[in-house]
Amino acid sequence: MRIISWNMRKNKKAWDYFFDSLNPDIALLQETSPLNDEHEFNILSKNVKKNLNNSILFKTDQPQELPIEDEQKMGLVSSRYKTESEDIFVLSIYGNLSFVGTLDFVLLETIEHFVKEMRKNFNAQDIVISGDFNMDRRMDDNPTKSKFSKKGETRHNNFFDGILDLGFHDCLRKYHSLPMQTYRHNRGIYPWELDHMFVTPELFERLRSINVFVDDNILQLSDHNPIVANFSDKN
């Protein structure tokens, strides 16, 4: 089973690359453009703001939206991937920069509520939380001297620790001890890891590989690199 996460930066041409080269079973996609062409995937999209969608695609059944208490209107979208062997709850994250200064607090509060509700209402065991968080643990050190961070803060580390405290594992850290560059700023060279994938313990055990893809096509299509994770089949 292949799960990917990618911020497509509203580039319609990114869809061709997605279908031809990534070919996942589950996709959590941020900043997607409308998709009109015929394809084998079923899509669920939620508008974040004008001409900007947060989307989930399944290769099997049509994803049905699950309720999320999103009073802050961050535009998160969730669904349930259910087959004969799988029952996975997925949450596609877009860290809306309209919440600069409070994004960590608002987003963690929303994730906590989502996880609690999925476990309470559906007895959810397998959960995937992935997307463009627009946050990196290293932001607490403010390596680029940004006006949005202060050296010595702990709020970004507290945010990610909060997700781990909910019983999740950071997929990228299973095979990559150091941060992976998922974002390329057009005015800087710092290798930010703004995109992440977190899963519950059984899925983490089944994770067989995870990489951040980048090639000449991706460099032209988006300033984010897709995360591609492969999981073994459920016993």
Tell me: pLDDT of 154 over 70. yes
Low-confidence winner among 75-79, 162-166, 183-187, 216-220 (lowest mean pLDDT): 183-187
Number of separate domains in the chain: 1
Q: Give the length of the chain.
A: 235
The mean pLDDT of 27-51, rounded to a whole number, is 85
**Cβ pair 197, 155 in contact under 8 A:** no
For tokens 């994250």, name the residue. Answer: 93
The predicted-structure confidence for 82-128, as pLDDT tens digits, reads as follows 988 899 999 999 988 777 778 899 999 999 999 999 999 999 999 99
Sorting pLDDT into bands at 50, 70 and 90, what band is 159?
very high
Q: What is the pLDDT of residue 68?
A: 85
Tell me: pLDDT of 71 over 70. no
Count of beta carbons in the 10 Å neighbourhood of residue 222:
22
pTM to 2 decimals? 0.95
* DSSP-assigned letter for residue 129: E
The predicted-structure confidence for 193-209, as pLDDT tens digits, reads as follows 999 999 999 999 999 99
Q: Which residues contact 52 (CB under 8 A, 6 or more apart)?
A: 10, 31, 75
Tell me: pLDDT of 235 over 80. no
For residue 110, the enclosing domain spans 2-231
Cα(125)–Cα(86) distance, integer angstroms: 11
49: domain CATH number?
A: 3.60.10.10
Q: Which residues contact 121 (CB under 8 A, 6 or more apart)?
A: none
The predicted-structure confidence for 139-150, as pLDDT tens digits, reads as follows 999 888 876 677
Amino acid at 41: F
Amino acid at 44: L
Paired with 207 in beta bridges are 231
Tell me: pLDDT of 191 over 80. yes
Q: Please tell me which residue, 59 or 100, carries the higher pLDDT value.
A: 59
Average pLDDT in the chain:
91
Per DSSP, the residues of 112-145 read HHHHHHHHHHH---EEEEEEE-S--GGGGG-TT-
